[in-house]
Amino acid sequence: MRGSRRSNRRLPRRAAVGRRSFTSTLKALDELAASGARIAVRITDLDRGTTVLAGDDFVVLPIAGLGVVPLLIDVAAGFESGALDPLEIIDRSSLDSTTGAGVWQHLKAPALPLSDLAVLTASTGDTLAANALIERVGLPAVRARIEQLGLTQTALIDEFRDKRGPDDAPQVALGSARELAEIFAALVNSEAVSAGVSAQVAEWLSLNHDLSLVASATGLDPFAHENDEHGLLFINKTGHDAGIRVEAGVLAGPRAGISYALIVCFDDLSIAHRLRAHQAFRTLGVDLMEYVF
């Protein structure tokens, strides 16, 4: 009876954190790796600055739409410095058409200001809006910004395209799980260029509608999760392409705060292969929620 009472006592906060594990996540990722998927993962405790989980987090892999995060940082820095006017109008007719993700291609408005394009890029993964921002600031400027941020394994190397020919870059963007987690940690710690730039980009990313992967475990409203009544702080960005699923973000609750990144490159041979990859992200989401609550 005494032993039973001892086991039911609430653990101190730090002891509880120490006993939480990512066993389910590791099992799911091991199964994916056994099927031939390439996987990279990084989880960092923001309070302690320690690595909670890391696996091939230094390996550079395709990150699809998640490559727009450095682009958004450069745009926000341009707004802050005055180099870019948030209300500068970009005409859609000046861009190459793309039928990828997003809503601008379905809207009647033929032109939008840069600030609205940034919102569409962050919230809906709008490929046409992202291409408009890339055309305006230029890939060399984004590469320079990436270097300024101290990132050596991250690159936005091309715009979004419906089809990639032999003269096009094979991927939109590349990155490592370690640096993706570092970018999001820098945003919430006000260390990405400046406090103002960090806050602006974090605000844009907080509008992200894609909660289908890791974020599915949060129970948040995909269309309105800026101010959660349960005290959950969350920002994220996902990347989707053929055989590529990526998510990085920050999740903070009453017990702890973490930055995370998971990259999975798999053979998209059937819906079963795809669902197995998605399930690994969702399993990670459950483990992350247990860690921060």
Residue 264 pLDDT greater than 80, yes or no:
yes
pLDDT at 288: 97
**Can you give the pLDDT at residue 173?**
97
Question: Scanning the structure block, which residue is given the tokens 């954190």?
Answer: 17
Fold of 13-292: Beta-lactamase (3.40.710)
CA distance linking residue 270 with residue 267, whole number of Å: 8
What pLDDT does residue 279 have?
Answer: 97
Residue type, 15: A
Give the per-residue pLDDT at 6.
Answer: 31
Rounded (10°) angle between helices 68-81 and 195-205: 130
Q: pTM here?
A: 0.91
Mean per-residue pLDDT of the chain: 91
Kindly report, residue by residue over 208-233, the tens digit of the pLDDT.
999 999 999 999 999 988 777 888 99
Per cent of the chain over pLDDT 90 is 84
pLDDT tens per residue, range 33-78: 999 999 999 999 999 999 999 999 999 999 999 999 999 999 999 9
* The pLDDT of residue 246 is above 90: yes
pLDDT confidence band for 167 (50 / 70 / 90): confident
Please give the structure tokens belonging to residue 26: 């590791």
The distance of Cα 198 from the centroid of its chain, to the nearest Å, equals 15
Q: What is the largest CA-CA distance in the chain?
A: 76
Whether pLDDT at 125 is above 50: yes
Give pLDDT, residue 208: 96
Cα(250)–Cα(183) distance, integer angstroms = 10
Q: At residue 208, what is the residue type?
A: N
Residue with tokens 């690159």: 155
Supply 210's token pair: 């894609």
Eight-state DSSP code of residue 94 = G
pLDDT, position 224: 86
In this predicted structure, the answer to whether residue 257 has a pLDDT above a threshold of 80 is yes
User: CA–CA separation, 97 vs 165, rounded Å?
Assistant: 15
pLDDT score recorded for residue 103:
94
pLDDT for 17 beyond 80 = no
Inform me whether the pLDDT recorded for 1 exceeds 80: no
- Residue 186 pLDDT grade (very low, low, confident, very high; cuts 50, 70, 90): very high
What burial letters (b/e) apply to 177-203, b meaning 16+ CB within 10 Å? Answer: bbbbbbbbbbbbeeebbeeebbebbbb
3-class DSSP state of 67: helix
- At 75-118, the pLDDT tens digits run 999 999 999 999 999 999 989 878 788 999 999 999 999 999 99
Token pair belonging to 155? 């690159």
Which two three-digit tokens encode residue 20?
């939480």
Residue 101: its pLDDT value, please? 87
Taking CA 100 as the corner, what is the angle to CA 94 and CA 105, rounded to the nearest 5 degrees? 50
